Amino acid sequence: MNLHGLEKSRLPTHVAIIMDGNGRWARLRGKSRLEGHREGTAAVRATVELSRDLGIRYLSLYAFSSENWNRPHDEVEGLMALLESYLECERERMMREGIRLMAIGDRKRLPVSVRRVLDQNIDLTRHNTAITVILALSYSGRDDIVRTVRDIARKVKEGEYDLPEIDESLVAAHTETGCIPDPDLLIRTSGEMRISNFFLWQIPYTELYITPTLWPDFSKRQYIEALLEFQRRQRRFGKTDEQILRG
Ligand code: FPP
């Protein structure tokens, strides 16, 4: 396998991506925003493919935030149609390449036709083991936390847990990503320096990589650059560098 100069043993287990800049990419070319999103789909394919080939275990893609419902009706409708056709077209590849699909977010808000194909793909791919791709759809990091709090509060009320049992691991297990390790690397394209209500609980020690590249231009080469930069970082998790070097 070509590792492109990357150290296999130091690859991130979980990469999360805020795919931003489709609209600007389109505007720069005099195209519609939807054409930007369409082009963004090709970058999604390439990113999933490289992640899988490198052996990255989890890839989370922020495809549609709760706040994105407030975009113009045509754009939302176009994005949903794009998502549906992406999921239909990719089903065979997911099975061939061992890709397991998961989704997080408020799926109830998605159009029935999108939900149907999403659920089908999730169900069909549930035993695949090469990589897990997590699509964040109608997702909000704060909603995730609110839902988690409600869930735990209800269980305390029903006597399932005592207050002292509530610790970080119990809270983490109740979030939407309960069964998935925290991201090691969070990539954001288009140069914006914010998290935009993506993972909030999940990223206390995640390495951030922000590139000015607009999402449709985010190539495999650029992804490799991000991974190389990740491997140059020293992750200290609050410790000193002497402690880390001593092991
Ligand atoms: C942000 O760019 C991008 C989105 C809101 C949608 C992301 C969707 C895709 C990449 C394609 C479909 C997804 C999948 C999983 C097939 P923006 O529109 O905010 O760009 P701008 O900030 O330049 O306007």
pLDDT digits (tens, 9 = 90+) for 54-69: 999 999 999 999 999 9
pLDDT at 105: 98
What is the residue-wise DSSP string for 135-164? EEEEE-HHHHHHHHHHHHHHHHHTTSS-GG
Q: DSSP letter at 124?
A: H
Tell whether the model's pLDDT for residue 247 goes beyond 80.
Answer: no
Tell whether the model's pLDDT for residue 123 goes beyond 90.
Answer: yes
Determine if the pTM surpasses 0.95. yes
Environment class of residue 245 by beta-carbon count within 10 Å: exposed (0-12), middle (13-18) or buried (19+)? exposed
pLDDT at 93: 97
pLDDT digits (tens, 9 = 90+) for 186-238: 999 999 999 999 999 999 999 999 999 999 999 999 999 999 999 999 888 88
Please state, rounded to an integer, the average pLDDT across all residues of the chain.
97
Exposed e or buried b for every residue in 26-39, given b needs 16+ CB within 10 A? beeeeeebbbbbbb
Ligand 1 atom with the smallest distance to the CA of 40 is 10
Annotation marks residue 197 as catalytic: no
pLDDT at 244: 83
Annotation marks residue 68 as catalytic: yes
Indicate the pLDDT class of residue 2, thresholds 50, 70 and 90: confident
Pocket of ligand 1 (CB under 6 A): 19-24, 37, 40-41, 44, 61, 63, 68, 82-83, 86, 135, 190, 215
pLDDT at 245: 82
List, in order of start, the domains of the chain with CATH numbers.
11-140+181-230 (3.40.1180.10)
pLDDT at 1: 66
Selecting among 53, 68, 119, 143, the annotated active-site residue is 68
**pLDDT > 90 fraction of the chain, expressed in percent and rounded:** 93
